[in-house]
Each structure stands twice: as C-alpha cells, then as structure tokens.
Chains A and B, each alone.
Chain A
C-alpha cells in the first residue's frame, strides 16, 4: 500500500488536533508515515501510532527553533526522499502552508492549500476547497510531482486506528538558505484556558455591536458556559477591543466549528470568508437587515446586551 507522508504540528511533543484529523484523511489514501520535527518530536509517536501512523520519522536540531521555516523544508525534503510517498499532507497553518509551498517548488510538485476534504481518485488525491469566501466549492488535484496538500482544521473526525508507529530517526542536511531568517526571540502566546480558535467545536464571536473592550466579558461568559473559543470580527479587532489572534475572517483565522455564534456582527464579506463553512450558525443582532441573517440556522433580532446574558444564564441553568 502506498505511503502518505503526514507533517506533524506539535508543541513540545503535544500533537495538535488538526494533525490527528489529518491522519484520518491520510488513511483514505494509504499508510500514514508521520514526520515530527523539533523538541519533543519522539514524544509524539505514541499518539500518532494510536491514530494510524505506521512509522514516525523524527528529527531535532537547533535550526528548527532558531530559524524560520526553511530548516523544516529541508527536513520534509529529506523525509520525502526517504519515503517516496504518494502524497504529502500538512495541517493548514500559516507556517505549514509556507513549508508546503517551498517544498512543492523544490520537488516540482503541485500544491493545494486549505482543503476541507480529501478522497482517493484515479489520478491521485482529490481535494475539496471552499473559495471566494466559501461562496464556491471546488475540487482539484495535483497534476505534477507529488501531491502536496494542506488541510484545514475540523475537516475530518479524529479516529483511533492503532498502528505500529515505529520511531525512526531522520537525517537532515541543512541547505544554505536554512539559516537565512533568524528567530531572535519567541514569546509564547498567553493561554486563555479556552480552546484554540481554529480547533474549537464551538466559537462565540463578538463584533462592532459589542461596543467596547469592557463589554467583551459577556461574550467570554457565553463562551465559557459552552466550553467555546472566543472570536472577534475585524471591526472589533481594529477598534482595539480584542486581540488580533482572535480575529475570524479573511485576514484572521478561518474557522469551521460545529456551532458558530455571532453577536453584534453584521456579516461583511471579510467575516463571512472566515466562518461561512461552520456547521450550525447562530446570530444575535439588533439590525434585522444585517447580512449575517442570510447565513443563520437561528437568528435573534435583538439587543445582544439583553439576549446574550439571558442565553448564558439559561445554558448554566440547563447544565445545572
């Protein structure tokens, strides 16, 4: 059976959920061989094996942490040479997309980014994408080289599928470009204790209607009652009410949770681009004409300062 190379996104050995989802998709195409780089790479093996990795290639070197992107491209290239996979899959993040793209150029391969589904096809993997702010759905395939495909979070379920997961050390030779961009310092993002925005099953977002940083507390309270992540529209971020890391939209994060709750968000194209593929969409907005209501499964026309706290209270009551 063909091998499929899966790039592992992890933080100090803790594998992030999108990689486990990717293993589900990789198994449709062949036998997943995982590539884990940097500190804690070997510690990823157990969970990767549980989710179908037949082999886990690992490499660690100071270059991975000290320089931007290119050392990881060198490693992916080394893994590709060692495995000759039928496809190379990466979870979609800003960094992994850059790794994928440089790798594709080097290896004469085609690149598809931000796939939302993946199936085996007669001429290689067929990837589904949502384009033009999710107004269109396309399917594409790679016609040259090894298909290189990045997949968005929440595109597949995480499934247990125990496999050998034998750890093998990969030898990586760094090229001249590897040390081009130095990472002078790195400040880890402070944890809010809430789920990561792109990985969360439920996202609660606030927009212009929240009307001030001090009012985001009611959005956070609703999120906490549901165990959800908090998002914000570009208007709220530009106004300085909430950090950019929480921005949902074309220039922020793209999310596709099971449930998306938009409060005080009109639904401009910028925002729709980042949330339109959510499974269930709910909105609260004073303006009955807001375009967000065209997308919703359930909408409440009303003042979010009345509706949201009442909703939070009711959820708490029901959860007892």
Chain B
C-alpha cells in the first residue's frame, strides 16, 4: 500500500532582506522577496529519502499563503515531491499559529495521509510549535525535532537531541514528524527536476473548500494581538581597535572596565 506523505512548507520573507511590519502589525510581505523557508527544505529532503526507502510512496507538498507562495511549492516539486496543494484565501491574512494549524489539519485530512513532515520552525515566526499543535489537532503522535528519522513497517523512529538528553523516539503511523537542520543536507533541484515540476499538479483550495469559517482564521480569529512593533534601535557605535600586538590586552581592559573581570 502506498505511503502517503504530506510535507507542510511555508513561504517566508527572505531573512537577508529588511523584514518589517505592515500598518496592521502583520508581517509585511510586499517589500521583501519571499522564498521556501530554508528549514522546510530539510523536511522535503527527509520525505524524499523516506519515499525512496518505501515500496510505494507519494509526496504531497502543502502550503497556506498568498499567490506568491506557489514559488515555495514549485521549489519543493522541483526537488522531487509529486504534487502540491495551495490554500489561498484573502480571509487568511493575519492568521496565527493556532489558525494555521486548523487550515493545515483540514487540508491534510482532506488529502489523506500516513505521515506529515514539517521543518523544525519557520524562519519568520520561528515559534517552532506548529508541528506539535498540528499533531494535537489531528489526534496523532508527534515525533518532533528529529535529527534522524526512519519509517519502517508502519512505525516512525527518530532521534531528538534536547537540552539535557538525547532521546530515541518511536510512534505508529499516522504521525506528525518535524526535522531539524541536522537531519541531512537538502538536495538542490536538478534541471530535470525543475522542468518536471512545471507539469506536476498544484491543487488550489480556499476556506470554503475546507469548511472553515472566515472568523476562525485571519486577524479576526487570532488569539493574540500585537500591541506594538518597533525597530530595535541601532546599537550605538562601539569601539573598534586594530590589533597591533596589544589587542587581547586592550580587550581585557575593556572587560575590566565593564566589571566582567
């Protein structure tokens, strides 16, 4: 039987650009180029490796986001995913992590799945909790923050490196897995992959397709309110010296003046 893998990916503002907030204190997505969140590339890579090991597997890549978010799907398809689902709806503007998990869960259930794979966090919101919330929504095990993952005989196993210990985890499918940047280098799309991706199906869905009311998501449904957002004041210019043989001593002098020594 085919192993159905859904990879959740996010289209995020490029972290090397000047990210900022719009007037409604949501992330400004107009002024900075977007791209597939780097951390999601690891999720796509692990999905491809798991699919390679399985007798028969199908990888669907799923995103929630504006029109441009198709770029993230195309990247994942060109890496080797089989098909894509794009959830787009004006009412999604300003959706928080709880709302996003609702949209993803509905789309995942609609598609059918044995395994959901995500990155460890997005590179914009960076909360790192979506996979856990998604598992709670779907009512399936979470096997999260894995630096190694393996799927065999309806079981997922992996290694989670925590603050105080490294753990070996095991759960039955269906399950939600998230992988870290330690899980293995993500492949670059080949020219052949890029050409093939153009022909792969991208299904477009909106909130009504998923049976979600507008006020369950977006700013209206968000359970948190951003009160203020301010650019961090630039640090006042520090002292910079060139080492001419006394650099270490000068630095020690500075640290002593600051009472660190």
Contacts and interface: CB of A to CB of B under 8 A. Distances in A.
A144 B223 contact: yes
B196 interface: no
B127 interface: yes
B164 to A, nearest CB: 6
Interface of B: 15-16, 19-21, 25, 39, 96-98, 101, 120-121, 123-124, 126-129, 132-133, 135-137, 139-145, 147, 157, 160-172, 175, 180-182, 222-232, 235, 238-243, 245-252, 254-256, 258, 260-261
B123 A301 contact: no
Given A143-B224, A299-B238, A301-B242, 19 more contacts: A68-B141, A98-B144, A108-B223, A111-B127, A114-B127, A126-B227, A136-B229, A136-B231, A138-B228, A142-B223, A143-B225, A180-B140, A251-B120, A282-B251, A282-B255, A293-B238, A298-B240, A301-B247, A307-B247
18 contacts: A94-B145, A95-B162, A97-B129, A101-B127, A108-B223, A110-B96, A137-B230, A142-B223, A144-B223, A182-B171, A185-B167, A186-B166, A250-B123, A258-B260, A284-B251, A296-B235, A299-B240, A314-B249
Interface of A, secondary structure class, is: mixed
Given A244-B147, A307-B248, A318-B256, A184 B169 contact: yes
B8 to A, nearest CB: 15
A84 interface: no
Given A105-B137, A282-B251, A196 B225 contact: no
Nearest to A123: B225
Query: How large, as a class, is the contact surface on chain A?
Result: 35 or more
Contacts of B248: 300, 306-314
A120 interface: no
Nearest to A314: B252
B47 to A, nearest CB: 19
A189 B144 contact: no
Contacts of B141: 68, 177, 180-181
Given A181-B170, A313-B248, A140 B232 contact: no
Contacts of B144: 68-69, 98
Task: Pick the most buried of A135, A234, A293: most chain B CB atoms within 10 A of its CB.
Answer: A135
Closest 5 CB pairs of A and B: A302-B243, A310-B248, A110-B223, A180-B141, A101-B129
B241 A301 contact: yes
A307 B251 contact: yes
Interface string A263-301: 000000110010010001110100010000111111111
B124 A296 contact: no
Contacts of B167: 68, 183-187
Given A138-B228, A145-B223, A296-B238, A105 B258 contact: no
A93 B226 CA distance: 22
